[in-house]
Amino acid sequence: MRALRTFLALVLAAFTTQAMAQYPDRPVKILIPFASGGVADILARVVAQKITEQTGKSVIVENKTGAGGRIGYEAGAKSAPDGYTFVATDVTYTMMPALYPVLPWNASTDLAPVALLGEMPFVAVVREGSKITTLGQFIAKAKSDSAKLNYGSAGIGSVNHVVTTLFAKTAGIEMVNVPYRGMGEAMAGLLGGSVDVLITAMPTAMGQLKGGKIVALGVTASRRSGALPNLPTATEGGVRFVASNWIGLTTPKNTPQEAVDWMQKAVAAAVATPEVRQVFLAQGADPSGVGVNEFGALMRGETTRWAEVIRASKITAE
């Protein structure tokens, strides 16, 4: 019996090794937990397209939206760990353990880090014609208006909700959250006059900024962005506030190491190309490509940081 078990184990190992040697032999999917038009969608799609071009292997993107990203993250966490599902993961994921005491998956272990695509600051924007051109003017208006100003977010508990709540607290103002299904819809709300301001990742805003439809008030980085060098930081605008977003790929735990290594190398090669770097930088994002160890350390550090912020600010998700 022992000899039979050993033989079967060797056969299974040989079969697995042969299967992974041919990896991927069918389309690889990247789940995006947010609606199209947002930063995760923009950056993941350009990287997926470049990986397909460089490797000849099909990498497809699927938006799976809802519940501030929880639906997509849960779907990814519960996917088969076969190397054919990856999840576009942003800072929202590291906020969830503090926002939701009970999640239907283990946020610490069920999605494992693979590679960091890029990092980007947030930018505060208002619609063109609002007669507000600086962060100081906006803060003054928020403090003087009898009716509270409102802002758009990608939903209760989304990264934009948490970051804007912290921004408002830091600035000493009050604003009302108007939740949307994604930042693409929130941007439409800003353009249509339904909301007064957005604090959003720069890639989401760059198209409308270039078109002159919105006005940037400040960037939430420690230094000015190369994409908008004339735009002051929030600190320069009078609010000592620094925060950034990032986008990386995670995958279900126990995914074969060969698949993780393949995707990490594919991401690094993609973001190193002039074409992808140009897209990232034009959107205000810094391309990265670092792998499991560095990205994992970032995720753990962000989880600790945002847990402290959320609890101190008494932010609750519905």
User: Does residue 273 form part of some domain?
Assistant: yes
Q: Which amino acid is at 135?
A: L
Q: State both tokens at 209.
A: 């900024």
- The pLDDT of residue 52 is 98
Per-10-residue mean pLDDT of the chain, 318 residues long, equals 48 46 92 86 94 97 90 97 97 92 94 96 94 95 86 86 90 93 91 96 88 95 86 94 92 98 98 94 88 96 89 77
Contact 27, 52 (CB under 8 A): no
Q: Is residue 132 within 8 Å of 197, Cβ to Cβ?
A: no
Give domain status of residue 226, yes or no. Answer: no
Residue 21: what pLDDT?
59
Last residue in a domain, options 204, 219, 234: 219
63 and 205 inside one domain:
no
HSE, side-chain direction, 13 A CA sphere, residue 308 = 5
Q: Is 290 a member of any domain?
A: yes
On whether both 67 and 104 belong to a single domain, the answer is: yes
**Does 101 sit behind a cis peptide bond, omega within 30 degrees of 0 on the bond before it?**
no
Q: Is residue 67 part of a domain?
A: yes
Q: Based on the domain organization, do 139 and 179 belong to the same domain?
A: yes
How many residues comprise the chain? 318
Token output for 71: 């639906």
CATH number at residue 286: 3.40.190.150
Does residue 69 lie within any of the structural domains?
A: yes
Asked if residue 206 and residue 183 are part of one domain, the reply reads yes
Number of independent structural domains in the chain: 2
Beta carbons within 10 angstroms of residue 78's beta carbon: 13
Contact 149, 196 (CB under 8 A): yes
At 208, which CATH number? 3.40.190.10
Q: Please report whether residue 251 resides in a domain.
A: yes
> Are 241 and 252 in contact, with CB atoms under 8 Å apart?
no
Q: Can you give the pLDDT at residue 79?
A: 98
Domain span at 301: 2-119+246-313
Which residue in 149, 120, 123 sits closest to 135, CA to CA? 123
Same domain membership, residue 263 and residue 161: no
- Whether 281 and 187 map to the same domain: the answer is no
Q: Looking at the structure, do residues 109 and 132 belong to the same domain, yes or no?
A: no
Query: Does the global pTM surpass 0.85?
Result: no
pLDDT of residue 318: 63
**Listed residues 219, 235, 265: the one ending a domain:** 219
Task: Judge contact between 186 and 154, C-beta under 8 A.
Answer: yes
Whole-number pLDDT of residue 177: 93
**Rounded Cα distance, 264 and 261, in Å:** 5
Q: Are residues 11 and 114 in the same domain?
A: yes
CA–CA separation, 117 and 135 (whole Å): 30
| 182 and 280 together in one domain | no
One-character DSSP codes across 136-174: HHHHHHHHH-SSPEEEEESSTTSHHHHHHHHHHHHHT--
- C-alpha 246/C-alpha 32 separation (Å) is 14
Beta strands in 78-223 (DSSP E): 85-90, 111-127, 149-153, 175-179, 198-201, 214-219
Helix (H, G, I), strand (E, B) or coil at 245: strand
User: Which residues lie below 8 Å from residue 179, measured CB to CB, with a gap of 6+?
Assistant: 152, 153, 154, 155, 156, 158, 161
Residues 21 and 10 in one domain: yes
CA–CA separation, 223 and 243 (whole Å):
11
Q: How far is CA 94 from CA 34, 193, 204, in A?
A: 15, 31, 20
131: alpha, beta or left, given left = phi > 0 and alpha = psi -120 to 50?
left
Same domain, 69 and 210: no
Pair (114, 251) in one structural domain: yes
Structural domain includes residue 228: no
- Residue after which a domain boundary falls, among 184, 219, 254: 219
Strands 214-219 vs 111-127: parallel, antiparallel or unpaired? antiparallel
Per-residue confidence (pLDDT) for residue 222, from 0 to 100: 84
β-pairing, 85-90 vs 59-63, is unpaired
Q: Is residue 236 part of a domain?
A: no
